[in-house]
Amino acid sequence: MAELYPSLVQCAIVAAAFKVLLFPAYAPQLACYYSFASCEGMVLRGLSLCAPDSNCLAVVDTVAEILRMDPRLPPFFAAFEWLMSQAAAYVDPAMLVVQNLGYDSWQTVYFQRATVIVTELVLVFALSRYVKSAPSWDKQAAHVASLSILLSPGLFIIDHIHFQYNGFLYGILILSIVLARKQSTLLYSGILFAILLCLKHIYLYLALAYFVYLGRFYCLDPKNVFRPRFFNIVKLGVCVLGVFGIAFGPFVQWGQLLQLKDRLFPFSRGLCHAYWAPNIWAMYSFTDRALIPLAPRLGLSVNQDALNSVTRGLVGDTSFAVLPEISSQQTFLLTFIFQLIPLVKLWFHSGPNWETFVGAVTLCGYASFLFGWHVHEKAILLIIIPFSLIALKDRRYFSAFRPLAVAGHVSLFPLLFTAAEFPLKTVYTVFWLILFLFVFDRVAPVPERPRIFVFDRLALLYPHIRHSVDSVLLAGSPTDLRIRTTTVLAPDVHEQLFRTWCCRELGWIYGGLFYRIDRFLDRKGSFRLAYN
Amino acid sequence: MAPSTPSSHRPRKKRKVPTAPGSNNNLILDIGDGKQTPAFPSSRSYGLRVRVPPMHGDFEAQRHWMEITTHLPMARWYLYDLQYWGLDYPPLTAYHSWLLGKIGSIVEPAWFALDKSRGFEDPHLKVFMRATVIASEYLIYIPAIVNFLRRYTRMQGVHAWSASIALVAILLQPATILIDHGHFQYNTVMLGLMVASLDAILAGRMLWACLFFVGALGFKQMALYYAPVMFAYLLGVCIFPRIRILRLINIAIITLAAFTLLFAPLLVAATNPEARALFATSPQPPLLQALPISLDKNTAAYAILFQLTQTIHRVLPFSRGIFEDKVANAWCAIHTFYKLHHFDVSLLQRASLGATLASIAIPCGIIFRHPRASLILPALSCVSWGFFLFSFQVHEKSVLLPLLPMTLSLAGDGGLNKENRAWVGWANVLGSWTMYPLLKREELRVPYIVMTLLWAYLMGLPPVCLETYRSRATLEDPNPQFELHLLTKLIHFAFYLAMVGWHVLEAFVPTPAGKPDIWVVLNALIGAGGFGLAYLWCMWKLITQCRQIDLQVAEEESRKKKQ
Distance CA(A419)–CA(B123), nearest Å, equals 6
In a domain, residue A86? The reply is: yes
Q: Is the pLDDT of residue B413 over 70?
A: yes
Check A419 against B44: CB less than 8 A apart: no
In a domain, residue A340? The reply is: no
| Shared-domain flag, residues B328 and B474 | yes
Residues of B in contact with A156 (CB under 8 A): none
In a domain, residue A308? The reply is: yes
- Is the Cβ of B126 closer than 8 Å to some Cβ of chain A? yes
**CA terminus-to-terminus distance, chain B:** 50
Please name the member of B44, B131, B450 whose beta carbon is closest to the beta carbon of A17. Answer: B450
Q: Tell me the CA distances in angstroms from A358 to A15, A213, A342, B515, B558, one per residue in order.
A: 27, 10, 11, 65, 73
| Shared-domain flag, residues B415 and B511 | yes
- Is the Cβ of B454 closer than 8 Å to some Cβ of chain A? yes
- Is the Cβ of A103 closer than 8 Å to some Cβ of chain B? no
The model's pLDDT over B232-255, given as tens digits with 9 standing for 90+, comes to 999 999 998 889 999 999 999 999
The model's pLDDT over B278-323, given as tens digits with 9 standing for 90+, comes to 888 888 888 888 888 777 888 888 888 888 988 888 888 666 666 7
In a domain, residue B97? The reply is: no
For B443, nearest residue in chain A (alpha carbons): A24
Sign of CA dihedral A139, A143, A149, A152: negative
Residue B57: what residue type? G
CB B273 within 8 A of CB B300: no
Q: Is the pLDDT of residue B545 over 70?
A: yes
Q: Residue A525: how many CB atoms within 10 A of its CB?
A: 13
Q: Which residues pair with B323 in a beta bridge?
A: B394
In a domain, residue B387? The reply is: yes
| Shared-domain flag, residues B279 and B403 | no
Q: Tell me the CA distances in angstroms from A54 to A57, A254, A265, one per residue in order.
A: 8, 7, 21
pLDDT at residue B201, rounded to an integer: 94
| Shared-domain flag, residues B374 and B511 | yes
> Of A80, A102, A119, which marks where a domain is finished?
A119
Residues 188-247 of B with CB under 8 A from A: none
> Is residue A77 packed enough to be buried (19+ CB in 10 Å), middle (13-18) or exposed (0-12)?
buried
| Shared-domain flag, residues B176 and B239 | yes
Q: Is the pLDDT of residue B469 over 60?
A: yes
What SS3 class is residue A311? coil
**Residue A34: DSSP 8-state:** T
pTM for the full predicted model: 0.82
- Taken as a whole, chain B contains a residue count of 563
Please name the member of B48, B49, B450 whose beta carbon is closest to the beta carbon of A20. Answer: B450
Which tops the pLDDT comparison, A262 or B526? B526
Confidence of residue B52 (pLDDT cuts 50, 70, 90): very low
Q: Enumerate residues 6+ apart whose C-beta is below 8 A from B499.
A: B429, B430, B433, B463, B526
How far is the alpha carbon of A294 from chain B, nearest alpha carbon, in Å? Answer: 37
In a domain, residue A34? The reply is: yes
Residues of A in contact with B447 (CB under 8 A): 21
Which tops the pLDDT comparison, B514 or B68? B68
CB B266 within 8 A of CB B225: no
- For residue B431, give the H/E element and its range: helix B418-434
Q: Is the pLDDT of residue B340 over 90?
A: no
Check B454 against A14: CB less than 8 A apart: yes
pLDDT at residue A449, rounded to an integer: 61
Q: Spell out the per-residue pLDDT of chain A, length 532, in tens.
A: 456 778 899 899 999 999 998 888 776 533 332 222 233 444 444 444 444 443 444 444 444 444 434 446 777 877 787 777 777 777 766 665 544 555 566 777 788 888 889 999 999 999 999 999 998 888 889 999 999 999 999 999 888 888 888 999 999 999 999 999 998 999 999 999 999 999 988 899 999 999 999 999 999 888 888 888 899 999 999 999 999 999 888 778 877 777 777 777 767 667 776 666 788 888 888 788 788 888 888 877 777 766 665 444 444 455 677 888 888 889 999 999 999 988 988 888 877 889 889 999 999 999 999 888 888 888 999 999 999 999 888 877 887 888 888 888 888 887 787 788 888 888 899 889 988 988 888 888 877 665 555 555 555 565 556 555 554 544 444 433 333 332 232 333 444 445 555 555 565 555 555 555 545 444 444 333 333 3
Radius of gyration of chain A from Cα atoms?
Answer: 23
Check B48 against A24: CB less than 8 A apart: yes
Distance CA(A505)–CA(A503), nearest Å, equals 5
Whether the bond into B286 is cis, omega within 30 of 0: no
What total of structural domains would you count in chain B? 2
pLDDT at residue A60, rounded to an integer: 47
- Is the Cβ of B43 closer than 8 Å to some Cβ of chain A? yes
What total of structural domains would you count in chain A? 2
Most B CBs within 10 A among A20, A26, A29, hence the mutation to make, goes to A20
Cα B2 versus chain centre, distance: 15
| Shared-domain flag, residues B484 and B447 | yes
Q: Tell me the CA distances in angstroms from A241 to A235, A249, A523, B45, B212, one per residue in order.
A: 10, 10, 38, 47, 74
Expressed as residue numbers, the domain containing B279 is 275-315
Check A420 against B43: CB less than 8 A apart: no
pLDDT at residue B19, rounded to an integer: 34
In a domain, residue A317? The reply is: yes
How far is the alpha carbon of A60 from chain B, nearest alpha carbon, in Å? Answer: 28
| Shared-domain flag, residues B288 and B413 | no
Q: What are phi and psi of A228, to 5 degrees?
A: -70, 150
Q: Which residues pair with A43 in a beta bridge?
A: none
- Is the Cβ of B168 closer than 8 Å to some Cβ of chain A? no
Expressed as residue numbers, the domain containing A285 is 280-327
How far is the alpha carbon of A24 from chain B, nearest alpha carbon, in Å? Answer: 6
pLDDT at residue A214, rounded to an integer: 93
Confidence of residue B447 (pLDDT cuts 50, 70, 90): very high
Q: Enumerate residues 6+ apart whose C-beta is below 8 A from B26.
A: B321, B341
Please name the member of A21, A419, A424 whose beta carbon is closest to the beta carbon of B446. Answer: A21
CB A26 within 8 A of CB A424: no
| CA-based nearest residue to B134, from B38, B39, B44 | B44
Q: Tell me the CA distances in angstroms from A321 to A278, A285, A307, A317, A498, one per residue in order.
A: 20, 9, 6, 13, 21
Please name the member of A17, A20, A420 whose beta carbon is closest to the beta carbon of B123. Answer: A420
> Of B315, B345, B377, which marks where a domain is finished?
B315
Query: Which of the residue ranges A9-23, A265-279, B146-160, B211-225 would you say has the lowest mean pLDDT?
Result: A265-279
pLDDT at residue B121, rounded to an integer: 80
Residues of A in contact with B130 (CB under 8 A): 423
Q: What percent of chain B has pLDDT over 90?
A: 52
Q: Is the pLDDT of residue B44 over 50?
A: no
| CA-based nearest residue to A145, from A361, A386, A406 | A386
- Is the Cβ of B343 closer than 8 Å to some Cβ of chain A? no
The ipTM (two decimal places) reads 0.80
Residues of B in contact with A23 (CB under 8 A): 446
Residues 283-302 of A with CB under 8 A from B: none
> Of A327, A343, A365, which marks where a domain is finished?
A327
> Of B262, B289, B315, which marks where a domain is finished?
B315
Check A424 against B44: CB less than 8 A apart: yes
Query: Which of the residue ranges A302-306, B474-478, B541-545 would you say has the lowest mean pLDDT?
Result: B474-478
pLDDT at residue A243, rounded to an integer: 94
In a domain, residue B392? The reply is: yes
A–B CB contacts, 8 A cutoff, strictly below: 49
**A311: alpha, beta or left, given left = phi > 0 and alpha = psi -120 to 50?**
left
| Shared-domain flag, residues B284 and B349 | no
For B134, nearest residue in chain A (alpha carbons): A423
For A19, nearest residue in chain B (alpha carbons): B450
pLDDT at residue B81, rounded to an integer: 82
- Is the Cβ of B31 closer than 8 Å to some Cβ of chain A? no
Check A24 against B126: CB less than 8 A apart: no
CB A365 within 8 A of CB A206: yes
Q: Which residues pair with A220 in a beta bridge?
A: A228
| Shared-domain flag, residues B334 and B457 | yes
Check B126 against A21: CB less than 8 A apart: no
| Shared-domain flag, residues B306 and B441 | no
> Is residue B62 packed enough to be buried (19+ CB in 10 Å), middle (13-18) or exposed (0-12)?
buried
- Is the Cβ of A450 closer than 8 Å to some Cβ of chain B? no
| CA-based nearest residue to B145, from B207, B93, B96, B191 | B191
| CA-based nearest residue to A207, from A223, A220, A190 | A190
Packed helices B345-369 and B376-390: angle between N→C axes, nearest 10 degrees: 170
Distance CA(B406)–CA(B530), nearest Å, equals 14
How far is the alpha carbon of A382 from chain B, nearest alpha carbon, in Å? Answer: 29
Q: How many Cα atoms occupy the beta-carbon half-sphere of A334 within 13 Å?
A: 17
pLDDT at residue A309, rounded to an integer: 55
In a domain, residue B232? The reply is: yes
Give B317-336 as a DSSP string. -TTS-SB-SS-SSHHHHHHH
Confidence of residue B404 (pLDDT cuts 50, 70, 90): very high
For A20, nearest residue in chain B (alpha carbons): B450
Most A CBs within 10 A among B49, B129, B181, hence the mutation to make, goes to B49
Check B45 against A424: CB less than 8 A apart: yes
In a domain, residue A168? The reply is: no
In a domain, residue B167? The reply is: yes
In a domain, residue A261? The reply is: no
Q: What is the largest CA-CA distance in chain B?
A: 79
Please name the member of A13, A20, A24 whose beta carbon is closest to the beta carbon of B457. Answer: A13
How far is the alpha carbon of B121 from chain A, nearest alpha carbon, in Å? Answer: 12
Please name the member of B47, B131, B450 whose beta carbon is closest to the beta carbon of A423. Answer: B131
- Is the Cβ of B124 closer than 8 Å to some Cβ of chain A? yes
> Of A86, A119, A152, which marks where a domain is finished?
A119
Residues 396-435 of A with CB under 8 A from B: 418-424
pLDDT at residue B537, rounded to an integer: 96
- Can you give B274-295 as a three-state secondary structure string? HHHHHHHHCCCCHHHHHCCCCC
Q: Tell me the CA distances in angstroms from A437 to A141, A402, A430, A461, A474, one per residue in order.
A: 13, 7, 10, 17, 20
- Taken as a whole, chain A contains a residue count of 532
In a domain, residue A291? The reply is: yes
Residues of A in contact with B45 (CB under 8 A): 22, 24-26, 420-421, 424
| Shared-domain flag, residues B304 and B338 | no
Confidence of residue B85 (pLDDT cuts 50, 70, 90): confident
| Shared-domain flag, residues B210 and B283 | no
Give B502-563 as a DSSP string. HHHHHHHSPPPTT-TTHHHHHHHHHHHHHHHHHHHHHHHHHHHHHHHHHHHHHHHHHHHHH-
